[in-house]
Chain A
Amino acid sequence: MEKQEWLFKQLQEIYNQSTDFNEVVLIKAIQNIINEQTKRIEQMEGELEGTLWSPRKWGE
């Protein structure tokens, strides 16, 4: 998460200063994909935690 925060801060600085519109759109694409990956990871970790704590699994 620290890595992502640092990266997003750096990207935002480029985003604010860049005069190259395609570069700005690429930054938006990076932010979109990393946010989507993070959400996917959180959902999978949540599912894993839920499964490990399921009483149905305790008897196994």
Chain B
Amino acid sequence: MKTLLIVSHPDLINSGSQQYFLSSLKGNDKITVHHLETQYPDGKIDVAKEQALLREHDRIIFQFPFYWYSSPPLLKQWQDVVLEAGFAYGKRGNALYGKEFGLVLMIGVAEREYQAGGTELFSINELTKPFQAMAHKTGMIYLRPLTIFQFGYLEEDQKMDLLIKYWQLLTMENDFSLTTREKWLIAMLKNFIDQNSDSPNARIFTYAVDLIEENRNTIDGLKMVFDDMYD
């Protein structure tokens, strides 16, 4: 699976939260990071090039700071010109059909405010309806969004847990069961072991893979006992 990460941010270099997530992706050949404001400083979008990029990828992610309940202007402009009739919808417009679509949102207000009774009144699910409708109209499968609230206030542990969820949104199949998350992590670890076979840490990571697999066998064994009992 290849993922296209379309980032829109007018001042990406100076955004600590954006850099935290993006810097972890360096060297990952399964993810194409595409920052619109760097690509098109004059705002003139190359529609054919963007459409070709979309065709080459299976999962499309928009990552942006949530400004006035929407995206920065260049991403809206991108939607207006790239997702045209005949490509994304309408007669023969099925280029995106069956792909997956997700959002990564950096939000400056606390999570508790996005509900009835909160200062923002509406939930993120309500406020992102235009993106859900876009995915629906173009035949894409809408993924659970990753919402990052007040990044600067988070503890290091919480940031790392978010980074793991970020990697999962970008590279894991769309299923968050424990089994799927185990398989995904084992694949990540095996990849790390392959790339760092000389490192003494590779031995420890191999041991971790073995223990995760052993625990999975125990869980499956217990499930079988329950299945027999309740039959």
Contacts and interface: CB of A to CB of B under 8 A. Distances in A.
A41 B192 contact: no
B39 to A, nearest CB: 25
Contacts, number: 75
A22 B178 CA distance: 22
B226 to A, nearest CB: 7
Contact of B161 (A14, A18, A21, A28): A28
Given A3-B211, A10-B204, A33-B212, A26 B222 contact: no
A32 B223 CA distance: 22
Main SS of chain A's interface residues? helix
B189 A28 contact: no
Contact of B222 (A4, A34, A44): A44
| Size category of the binding interface on chain A | 20 to 34
A33 B164 CA distance: 11
Given A36-B178, A40-B178, A51-B229, A29 B164 contact: yes
Interface string B159-191: 011011000000000000010011001001100
Interface residues of B, number: 31
B204 A34 contact: no
B192 A26 contact: yes
A29 to B, nearest CB: 5
Interface of A: 3-4, 7, 10-11, 14, 18, 21-26, 28-30, 32-34, 36-38, 40-41, 44-45, 47-48, 51
9 contacts: A7-B204, A7-B208, A24-B160, A30-B189, A30-B208, A33-B182, A37-B215, A37-B216, A51-B229
